Structure 1
Amino acid sequence: MYVQSILDRKGAEIVTTRPEETIAATARLLSEHRIGAVLVLDGSGHVAGVISERDIVSGMAKHGAGVAAMTVADLMTRDVLLCRPTDTIEEITAIMTARRVRHLPVLEDDQLVGIVSIGDVVKQRLDETALEVDSLRQYVLAGR
């Protein structure tokens, strides 16, 4: 299976923000969309970083309540790993596990086409496993 299969199931909605946006506004955005991270796009629409709940919590631990007035650029992760629709689920699972990342933007021909989370990957793997079990069950029952 490929990353494209995840995008086909979940859709291509991508929640984004800008580097100059406040952390308070970004926290509201995360809560509103019930997501764990937001892609940060520069003025040209290219991925400049990602800001996650974890980044905000770390910022609160370091800076206290004043973190709400800080900008996304102050706390975002700039070294963003990317994937392609043609990457396999196994490949991105290995990357997410080894690099301890929970979100991967998906680029095709240098264009942002989606984002996959570790939750999306786990759901896809569980669905695949359930399909395999069902197929094996039907095969065994047909042989009786």
Structure 2
Amino acid sequence: MTTVAQVLKDKAYKEIYTITPDATVLEAISLMAEKSIGALVVTHEGNVVGILSERDYTRKIALMERTSFDTTVSEIMTGSVITVTTAATVEECLELMTDRHLRHLPVVEDKQLSGLISIGDLVKAAMDDQRKLIEQLQQYISG
């Protein structure tokens, strides 16, 4: 079974983008747009305190008629963040993300942020695992 450690190692883009809770939402969405990403991990003194996604922005700024200029990240971020460790398997993460309707999972080791995986990262890893299994079964059948 592929683990989160392997998924992180295989990722093309390994950089983790973070923002502080006191930053403005405008700063956050500007960073997301600049980096072409859908979420930022919110950190305070190196600890994960939240996650801010495009979904948070849409639901909590646009629909509630707030402004990005004077609303802080802490006001709209998802505060109860579910995290995983590098030892978690792809299957465990996919199940967690499906059950909780998540698109991103911060990876935390020794209380420090060590990565961020997306549903796309996990689907790719699961497809690679299935491809390898099919190849092994075909070789077994062929003799």
Normalised to the residue count of structure 2, the TM-score between the two structures is: 0.89
Kindly indicate whether residue 42 of structure 2 is the aligned counterpart of residue 40 of structure 1. Answer: yes
Partner of 2:31: 29
Shift of residue 137, structure 1, vs aligned partner: 3.5
Q: Which has the larger share of helix?
A: 1
Could you say what secondary structure the match of 2:115 adopts? strand
Q: 2:22 aligns with which of 8, 20, 23?
A: 20
In 2, the alpha carbon distance for the partners of 1:71 and 1:137 equals 55
- Amino acid of the structure 1 residue aligned with 2:46: G
- Computed over aligned residues only, the root mean square deviation of the Cα atoms, in angstroms, reads 1.5
In 2, the alpha carbon distance for the partners of 1:3 and 1:23 equals 30
Partner of 1:82: 83
Could you say what secondary structure the match of 1:126 adopts? helix
Could you say what secondary structure the match of 1:57 adopts? helix
In 2, the alpha carbon distance for the partners of 1:33 and 1:130 equals 31
- Amino acid of the structure 2 residue aligned with 1:58: R
Could you say what secondary structure the match of 1:62 adopts? coil
Partner of 2:115: 114
- Amino acid of the structure 2 residue aligned with 1:89: V
Partner of 2:3: 2
Q: Which runs of 4+ in 1 moved over 6 A?
A: none
Unaligned runs of 5+ in 2: none
In 2, the alpha carbon distance for the partners of 1:16 and 1:29 equals 9
In 2, the alpha carbon distance for the partners of 1:9 and 1:29 equals 24
Contact in 2 for aligned 1:82/1:106 (Cα 8 Å)? yes
Shift of residue 12, structure 1, vs aligned partner: 3.9
- Amino acid of the structure 1 residue aligned with 2:93: I
Q: Which moved more, 1:79-88 or 1:126-135?
A: 126-135
Could you say what secondary structure the match of 2:102 adopts? coil
Kindly indicate whether residue 100 of structure 2 is the aligned counterpart of residue 99 of structure 1. Answer: yes
Shift of residue 68, structure 1, vs aligned partner: 4.1
Shift of residue 38, structure 1, vs aligned partner: 0.3
Could you say what secondary structure the match of 1:41 adopts? strand
Aligned residues: 140
Normalised to the residue count of structure 1, the TM-score between the two structures is: 0.89
State the identity %.
38
- Describe the superposition over 1:102-133 as per-residue Cα deviations: whole angstroms up to 9, x where unpaired: 11111112121111111111111111112222
Q: Which moved more, 1:17-26 or 1:48-57?
A: 17-26
- Amino acid of the structure 2 residue aligned with 1:39: V
Shift of residue 57, structure 1, vs aligned partner: 0.5
Shift of residue 74, structure 1, vs aligned partner: 1.1
Shift of residue 134, structure 1, vs aligned partner: 2.9
